[in-house]
Amino acid sequence: MLAVEMTGDAVKAKNGSMVAYDGQMDFKKLSGGGEGIRGMVTRRITGEQMTLMEVKGHGTCWFADRASEINLVSLQGDKLFVESSNLLATDSGLRTGTSFTGLRGASQGNGLFTTTIEGHGQAAIMSDGPAVVLRVSRQYPLTVDPGAYIAHQGNLSQSFQSGVTFRTFMGEGGGEAFQIRFEGDGLVYVQPSERNTIAGEV
């Protein structure tokens, strides 16, 4: 659970994630993930769904979602890429957006999009179990199962490659399985469990 103390300031949080508060709070639903009409249109086109609310007031507000672990990420003018389902809350001054991250797979040809957060402040991201932060360097690229991927930041490029996952090896997968390969210099956040993806293949 995330406790946020407010003295007249505001936070943006996943719609419906407030579990309790004391003091005086005002709640407002944000259109298009807080980016207005343009953001709403972008999200409808890309399929990246994220509904946020703005919470403003004096007192303490508690946020949670499905008893997920919560990880705080500090941003110093850089950008964080995060799966929309893993975003819990951000400081109100952080900007949210949508970014194209690549192609889903050669056979499908569909685009993948992810939520971006940038500016100065903190973002709270969720994980199913304690998140692990993995360093990527130019000498050591990293390959991640898309079901375990949460977020990444830094000067990283990503590509999608077909490959055999453990679930495919055990006969539990179907269709085209692939992994996400990160190269460059930065951090990748992964969780110790996998979301339900389409055959290991988001």
**pTM of the entire structure?**
0.78
For 8-64, how does the pLDDT look when each residue is reduced to its tens digit (9 = 90+)? 999 999 989 999 999 999 999 876 544 554 444 444 444 445 678 999 999 999 999
Residue 16 backbone dihedrals phi, psi, to 5 degrees: 85, 5
Which pLDDT belongs to residue 196?
A: 56
The domain segmentation of the chain, as residue ranges, is 2-190
CA angle 61/66/69 to nearest 5° reads: 75
32 exposed, middle or buried (CB, 10 Å; 0-12, 13-18, 19+)? buried
CATH of 2-190, one of 3.20.20.150, 1.10.260.40, 3.60.160.10, 3.60.21.10: 3.60.160.10
- What pLDDT, on the 0 to 100 scale, is given for residue 109? 38
Residue 40 phi, psi dihedral angles, 5° rounding: -65, -45
At 176, the pLDDT band (50, 70, 90 cuts) reads very low
Cα–Cα dist 84/32, whole Å: 12
What pLDDT is attached to residue 166? 56
